[in-house]
């Protein structure tokens, strides 16, 4: 099957051969394209398929949104019940305990003594006995702490 072509260069009409008789333009490629008219129709079908997919995605999203919107409703009904909300409000407050202070350390400086260290961290009323509670290794040598020795900082509330 051969089609009569029009030359794209000089518009010579009804070319039956592979080249334009007027300007020698090779029209074989044009003929090949002309003989592929079924091609445009499949290209239209994918477009419809894409449209279909988009519509399906849109429907899916709509269903998902509707599903999400419909889910909170039973939740609000549950929240409306006053007793569980009250217990949940009380529970977190009761669960969180006051964190005990992190055990910090202090390196003994030249001229330090346990009373001075206790007062440094716990105020003027503090006594050296506070230091023994957190540093039992000092028992019996309260007056002979070494410079550079690392002691635990006393827990002031317990000592006072
Ligand atoms: Zn031509």
pLDDT at 22: 93
pLDDT at 159: 42
What are the tens digits of pLDDT across the range 75-86? 555 555 555 555
Span from the CA of 34 to the centroid of ligand 1 (angstroms): 17
Decide if 6 contacts 14 (C-beta within 8 A): yes
In order along its 160 residues, the chain shows pLDDT tens digits of 567 888 989 999 999 889 999 999 998 888 888 777 665 555 556 678 888 899 999 999 999 888 888 765 555 555 555 555 555 555 556 667 777 656 689 999 999 999 999 999 999 999 999 999 889 999 988 888 999 999 999 888 654 4
C-alpha to C-alpha distance for 156 and 78, rounded to whole angstroms: 47
What are the tens digits of pLDDT across the range 111-127? 999 999 999 999 999 99
Span from the CA of 4 to the centroid of ligand 1 (angstroms): 13
CA of residue 92 relative to chain centroid, distance: 25
Span from the CA of 27 to the centroid of ligand 1 (angstroms): 9
pLDDT at 57: 93
Q: Beta-carbon neighbour count of residue 114 at 10 Å?
A: 22
Residue 138 host element (H or E): none
C-alpha to C-alpha distance for 20 and 3, rounded to whole angstroms: 13
Alpha helices in the chain (DSSP H): 28-34, 40-70, 72-80, 82-95, 114-122, 129-134, 156-159
- C-alpha dist (Å) from residue 119 to 30, 116, 143, 156: 101, 5, 15, 10
C-alpha to C-alpha distance for 27 and 49, rounded to whole angstroms: 34
pLDDT at 160: 44
Span from the CA of 37 to the centroid of ligand 1 (angstroms): 23
DSSP lists the bridge partners of residue 150 as 107
pLDDT at 78: 54
C-alpha to C-alpha distance for 157 and 122, rounded to whole angstroms: 8
Decide if 126 contacts 157 (C-beta within 8 A): no
Span from the CA of 140 to the centroid of ligand 1 (angstroms): 117
């Amino acid at each position: 099957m051969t089609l009569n072509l029009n030359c794209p260069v000089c518009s010579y009409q009804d070319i039956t051969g592979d080249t334009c008789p007027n300007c020698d333009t090779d029209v074989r490629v044009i003929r090949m394209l002309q003989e592929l008219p079924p091609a445009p129709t499949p290209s239209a079908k994918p477009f419809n398929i894409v449209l279909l997919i988009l519509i399906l995605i849109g429907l899916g999203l709509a269903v998902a949104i509707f599903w999400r919107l419909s889910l909170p409703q039973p939740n609000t009904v549950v929240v409306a019940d006053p007793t569980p909300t009250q217990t949940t409000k009380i529970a977190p407050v009761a669960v969180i305990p006051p964190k005990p202070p992190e055990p910090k350390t202090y390196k003994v400086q030249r001229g330090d003594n346990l009373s001075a260290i206790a007062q440094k961290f716990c105020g003027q009323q503090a006594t050296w006995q506070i230091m023994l509670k957190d540093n039992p290794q000092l028992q019996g040598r309260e007056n002979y702490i070494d410079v550079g020795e690392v002691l635990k900082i006393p827990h002031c509330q317990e000592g006072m």
